[in-house]
């Protein structure tokens, strides 16, 4: 009886070990995956620039088109975004220096503090959509499943914020299983309501990094509202230091 | 002197119509400026009282928590020490309110409107239900969880009806995006001013959306019994709070800067950590309204000067006419021994009596008009409700201003009469008697 009990326990242990090993072999390292996603959108020692066109559609209204030139320097957490269109907002701009983001209005010639969370010119696009993300720092994966999106096998990850420094409490990501490329993102409110859906149908290789060249944002609250962001002229050419300054914003807005 | 005044009065009564016209012009001027004076006197008091009821307090206390430099949240988690400090200060509060408010965007049928949403404890804030005039719906809905009361302009903009579900985009206390699902419980009359941009909800639901505890809140309001106590009571409460809790200093060294802006600036610019409290008063909020009172005072003076300027021309011309009419009379008086100075005094006494009659008539008329206006119920459902007291105009004539106005009237009238009077007194008796007028 005692021998039987011992062998049963051993057997169960072996079974558990095998099952555990099999399970861990199938479960990807999501922390590493989030870090890879972040890494893929970061330019490290190189600078990045490009022209973004943001088309915002609101039912019953004419489409609004905003065009902006972005200069990014990820290694120092700096960016400058200068509005080129519409004419009435031309010269307005955003400047990130470390943790602080400023908005510059050439009409009042004043810099005002803003955040990465703020929308760009009242569209559904936010400053954070154009600069590098920090998923691995701010979120943890709480559940996952496998699914298919279009032609791609994907991991569907449910992310939960680890702190309060983010805009969305919960995020759901569709990540390609073969490469850490995000194809779809859903942002949820603190009460679990879908706020917006982002689709990333096109990426371009720029300096070895994957940059989305087209983003479609569907508003989850205002039915029918959608925003399309397209990127052209992406470049990793070096940008002069003087660009990431208040002086530059003031100068180019004249 | 008595004889002089009696003679002056008799002379004025000789030309009743002329006297009535001149003193009537003075009376009209005095009446207008006294009404403006009375309105300005009660203006600040009524504005302060009405805002006090809408904002649920005359003294406001807020807790500020620093999560990290540049990231502060406004919250009162435990008010035991604050309430003890208020108690120790000896300030008699009519009642104390605890409110949570949030800026949100109302979304309905593809349309949006930005609103300040005030979460109130409706079981305590009885004055708020008296102040908000509902065109549709009832307060029962807002007490029941997710009800929302919006102003008429917002309801029209979004095409809302009572019972409609409306989504509100807002942020939690730490800045995460959130969405509230409200139902329209009532549509209030648009009272204008800031109240038109405010919607009201239940504090418990707002707390849930802000993701703060059910007993936590963002602002403590102390409603006092009388407005005159505000500054003194605020000083006492502040002194007691600062004994045990960290506070932001009140007041500003720069007289041109807004005291509330300066108070808020401290949270951003100073080095600090933990929790600090700030206290400000309704007087500081409506400090700009005090400028309106100054303007009203200046306007009343300008109105009086303009009216008196016109009247002065009339008085000067009339007295010149009087002088020519009475030229032989002046000659006779001078011939029987009346001195130049006595002639001058007689004319000036007539002018003084004229001013006196005008001032008395003006004050009586203004009292009648103000009493009449203050009997008319204008109502609370009017854009000028903030200027009224319980729906009625009120007037508080400030004695200092009234004395200034009367002094101006007397000075102007005497100045107007001075030149014809002097000319009359300077007339040689022989020449005056020879006159054929």
Q: What does the angle CA B363 – CA B368 – CA B369 come to, to the nearest 5 degrees? A: 95
Residue A226 CA, chain-centre distance (Å), reads 17
Name, in order, each residue with C-beta under 8 angstroms of B214's C-beta and a sequence gap of 6 or more.
Answer: B204, B207, B208
d(CA B172, CA A186): 19
Name, in order, each residue with C-beta under 8 angstroms of A155's C-beta and a sequence gap of 6 or more.
Answer: A28, A30, A33, A144, A145, A146, A147, A173, A174, A175, A177
d(CA B300, CA B34): 8
pLDDT of B405 reads 84
Let me know: does A12 contact A191? Beta carbons within 8 Å: no
d(CA A238, CA A248): 16
- Backbone φ and ψ for B377, nearest 5 degrees, come out as -80, 110
Chain B residue with the nearest C-alpha to that of A187: B177
The two three-digit tokens of residue B59, written as one number: 């003294």
Q: Is the pLDDT of residue B330 over 90?
A: no
Site of tokens 């470390």? A98
d(CA A3, CA A7): 6
Site of tokens 């904002």? B55
ipTM comes to 0.78
Can you give the pLDDT of all 254 residues of chain A as single tens digits? 454 566 665 666 555 555 555 444 467 899 999 999 988 888 888 999 999 999 999 888 889 999 999 999 988 888 999 999 888 888 899 998 877 888 999 888 888 887 776 777 777 777 677 776 788 988 999 999 999 999 999 999 999 999 887 889 999 999 999 989 999 999 999 989 999 999 999 999 888 888 999 999 999 998 889 999 999 999 999 999 999 998 998 888 77
CB contact under 8 A, A168 and B180: no
pLDDT of B32 reads 87
CB contact under 8 A, B110 and A59: yes
d(CA B365, CA A52): 71
pLDDT of A161 reads 92
Print burial letters for B167-189: b (CB count within 10 Å at least 16), e (below 16): bbbbbbbbbbbbbbebbbbbbbb
pLDDT classification of B251: cutoffs 50, 70, 90: confident
Give chain A's radius of gyration (CA, Å).
Answer: 22
CB contact under 8 A, A190 and B107: no
Alpha-carbon separation of residue A25 from A18, A158, B291, B347 (angstroms): 10, 20, 75, 116
Q: Where are chain A's structural domains?
A: 33-252
Q: With the C-alpha atoms ordered A207, A210, A215, A217, is the resulting torsion angle positive or negative?
A: negative
Contacts of B180 in chain A (CB under 8 A): 191
Q: Each residue of B81-99: pLDDT tens digit? A: 999 999 999 998 888 899 9
Let me know: does B86 contact B244? Beta carbons within 8 Å: no
Average model confidence (pLDDT) for chain B?
Answer: 84
Chain A residue with the nearest C-alpha to that of B177: A189
* Sequential DSSP letters for B39-96: HHHHHHHHHHHHHHHHTT-SEEEEEEEEEETTEEEE-BS--HHHHHHHHHHT--EEEE
- The three-state secondary structure class of B173 is coil
What average pLDDT does this structure show over B293-300? Answer: 75
* Cβ-nearest to B176 among A59, A167, A224: A167
E strands of B176-251, at which residues? 177-188, 198-202, 219-224
Q: Is the pLDDT of residue B412 over 80?
A: yes
Q: What is the pTM of this model?
A: 0.70
Q: Each residue of B107-138: pLDDT tens digit? A: 998 888 999 999 999 888 877 887 788 889 99
CB contact under 8 A, B176 and A187: no
Contacts of B110 in chain A (CB under 8 A): 58-60, 222-225
pLDDT of A1 reads 46
> What is A33-252's CATH topology?
outer membrane lipoprotein receptor (LolB), chain A (2.50.20)
């Amino acid at each position: 009886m005692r021998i039987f009990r011992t062998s049963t326990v051993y057997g169960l242990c072996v079974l558990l070990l095998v099952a555990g090993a099999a399970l861990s072999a199938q479960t990807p390292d999501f922390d590493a995956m989030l870090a890879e996603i972040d890494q893929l959108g970061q330019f490290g020692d190189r600078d990045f620039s490009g022209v973004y066109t943001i088309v915002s559609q609101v039912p019953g209204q004419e489409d609004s088109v905003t065009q902006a030139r972005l200069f990014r320097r990820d290694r120092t957490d700096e960016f400058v975004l200068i509005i080129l269109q519409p004419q009435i907002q031309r010269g307005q701009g955003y400047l990130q220096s470390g943790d602080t983001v400023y908005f510059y209005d050439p009409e009042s010639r004043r810099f005002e503090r803003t955040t990465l969370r703020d929308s760009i010119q009242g569209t559904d696009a936010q400053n954070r959509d154009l600069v590098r993300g920090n998923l691995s720092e701010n979120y943890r994966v709480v559940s996952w499943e496998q699914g298919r999106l279009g032609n791609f096998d994907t991991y569907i990850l449910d992310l939960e914020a680890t702190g309060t420094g983010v805009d969305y409490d919960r995020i759901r990501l569709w990540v390609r299983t073969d490469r850490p490329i995000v194809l779809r993102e859903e942002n949820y409110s603190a009460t679990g309501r879908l706020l917006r859906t982002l689709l990333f149908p096109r990426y371009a290789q720029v300096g070895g990094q994957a940059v989305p060249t087209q983003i479609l944002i569907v508003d989850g609250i205002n039915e029918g509202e959608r925003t399309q962001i397209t990127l052209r002229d992406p470049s990793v050419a070096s940008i002069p230091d003087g660009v990431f300054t208040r002086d530059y914003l003031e100068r180019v807005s004249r | 002197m008595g004889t002089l005044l009696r003679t002056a009065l008799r002379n004025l009564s000789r030309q009743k119509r002329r006297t009535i016209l001149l003193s009537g012009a003075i009376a009209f001027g005095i009446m207008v400026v006294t009404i403006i004076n009375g309105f300005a006197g009660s203006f600040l008091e009524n504005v302060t009282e009405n805002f006090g009821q809408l904002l649920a307090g005359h003294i406001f206390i807020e807790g500020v928590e620093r999560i990290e430099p540049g990231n502060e949240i406004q919250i009162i988690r435990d008010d035991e020490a604050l309430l003890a400090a208020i108690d120790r200060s000896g300030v008699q509060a009519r009642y104390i309110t605890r409110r949570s408010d949030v800026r949100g965007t109302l979304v309905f049928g593809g349309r949006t409107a930005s609103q300040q949403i005030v979460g109130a404890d409706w079981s305590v804030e009885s004055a708020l239900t008296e102040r908000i005039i509902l065109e549709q719906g009832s307060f029962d809905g807002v007490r029941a969880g997710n009800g929302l009361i919006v102003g008429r302009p917002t309801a029209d903009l979004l095409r809302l009806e009572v019972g409609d579900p409306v989504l509100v985009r807002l942020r939690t206390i730490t800045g995460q995006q959130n969405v509230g699902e409200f139902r329209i419980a009532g549509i209030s009359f648009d009272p204008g001013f800031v109240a038109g941009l405010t919607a009201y909800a239940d504090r418990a639901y707002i707390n849930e959306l802000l993701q703060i505890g059910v007993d936590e809140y963002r602002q403590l309001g102390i409603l006092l019994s009388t407005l005159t106590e505000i500054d003194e009571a605020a000083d006492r409460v502040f002194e007691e709070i600062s004994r045990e809790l960290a506070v932001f200093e009140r007041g500003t060294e720069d007289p041109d800067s807004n005291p509330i802006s300066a108070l808020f600036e401290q949270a951003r610019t100073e080095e600090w950590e933990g929790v600090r409290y700030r206290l400000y008063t309704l007087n500081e909020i409506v400090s700009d309204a005090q400028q309106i009172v100054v303007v009203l005072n200046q306007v009343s003076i300008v109105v009086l000067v303009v009216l008196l300027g016109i009247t002065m021309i009339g008085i000067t011309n009339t007295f010149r006419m009087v002088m020519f009419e009475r030229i032989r009379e002046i000659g006779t008086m001078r011939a029987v021994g009346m001195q130049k100075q006595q002639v001058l005094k007689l004319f000036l006494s007539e002018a003084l009596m004229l001013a006196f009659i005008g001032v008395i008539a003006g004050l009586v008329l203004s009292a009648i008009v103000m009493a009449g206006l203050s009997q008319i119920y204008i109502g609370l459902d009017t854009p000028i409700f903030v200027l009224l007291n319980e729906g009625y105009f009120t007037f508080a004539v400030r004695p200092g201003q009234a004395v200034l106005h009367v002094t101006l009237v007397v000075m102007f009238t005497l100045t107007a009469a001075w030149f014809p009077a002097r000319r009359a007194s300077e007339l040689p008796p022989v020449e005056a008697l020879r006159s054929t007028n």
